[in-house]
Amino acid sequence: MSGGRGGARVVGRCVKRIGGEGRRYWDIFLFCTNIGCEFHSPRVVLVSMRLDRRGTLLGACVMKHYYSTIMVVDDDPNDLIFIEKAFRAIGVKHPIHTINGGLEAIAYIMGEGKFSDRDTYAYPTFITTDLKMPGADGFAVLEHLKNNPEWAVIPTVVLTSSSDLDDIKKAYMLGASSYHLKPSSPAELRQQLKVLHEYWMTCEVPEVDSTGRQLRTNSNGKLGERFAQP
C-alpha cells in the first residue's frame, strides 16, 4: 500500500500458520502507517487477513492504533514508577510522562516553562491522576480540564486509594472518564491498566497534529454546527 498525502505504507508483517493437515490457514498481519502528515494524526494500522491453503482470502479486518501521549499524575514517586512500569509491561510503546502533582500537571497542559516544548511534551491524549495531592489535587486537574473545552475531551481516569463516596461523585461531576481504586499488587495494576488502555484504544478520538493539539473540523451543515469549537 502506498499513496500521496495521508497515504499508507507497510512497515512490518507477521505470518502465522495455524491448523494441521486438511485444515490449514494463514494469518497475515500487516503493520501500516501514514507517517503523520500535517493534516492527519499519526497512527499505526494493523491489517489482519486470513487465507486458506490455496491462498483464498477468508476474511480481513482493520484495527486502528493511534499514537498517543500518556500523562500520569501522582505525588508519590513510587506510584509514578509502578504505573509507568505497568503500562510498559502491557506493551505500551507510546510516550509516557510522569508528572509530580497537580500543579505540574496544569503547567504541562498549559505549556508553561519546560512544557512549552511540545515536541518533547506533546498534548496528552490519555491522563491518569491521583486525587489527594498537595498544592493542587486531582479535583483541580479535573476542573482545569473541564473549564477548557479543547482539553475536556481528553480521557481522564482517576486512579486513587480513596473509596470515599463523595470523592467518587465529585470526580464524575468534574468530568472524570472513570474512577478506579489503586490495586494492591503490581499484577493487579497491570491487569487494570490493560483493560483501561485496550478500551480507550477502541474509541474514536479527535484528530490531532504532531504536537497533540486538536485540529479544527468542518461543522458546516452538520449536526454539531450549533456548537462552537474551541
The single residue listed with the C-alpha cell 472518564 is 177
Q: Residue 204's pLDDT is what?
A: 77
**Per-residue CA distances from 127 to 1, 7, 37, 73, 86 (Å):** 34, 30, 25, 8, 15
pLDDT tens digits, one per residue of 13-24: 444 444 444 444
The model's confidence at residue 57, banded by pLDDT at 50, 70 and 90, is low
- Any idea which of 27-36, 125-134, 139-148 has the lowest mean pLDDT? 27-36
pLDDT tens digits, one per residue of 104-119: 999 999 999 999 998 8
Top-confidence residue, 66 or 162: 162
**Per-residue CA distances from 109 to 5, 99, 149, 166, 182 (Å):** 30, 11, 13, 26, 24
Separation CA 176–CA 158 (nearest Å): 7
Q: Residue 34's pLDDT is what?
A: 41
Percent of the chain beyond pLDDT 70? 69
Q: Residue 59's pLDDT is what?
A: 62
Global confidence as pTM = 0.69
- The amino acid present at 5, given as its one-letter code, is R
Instruction: Look at residue 146 and tell me whether its pLDDT is greater than 70.
Output: yes
- What is the C-alpha end-to-end distance of the chain, expressed in Å? 36
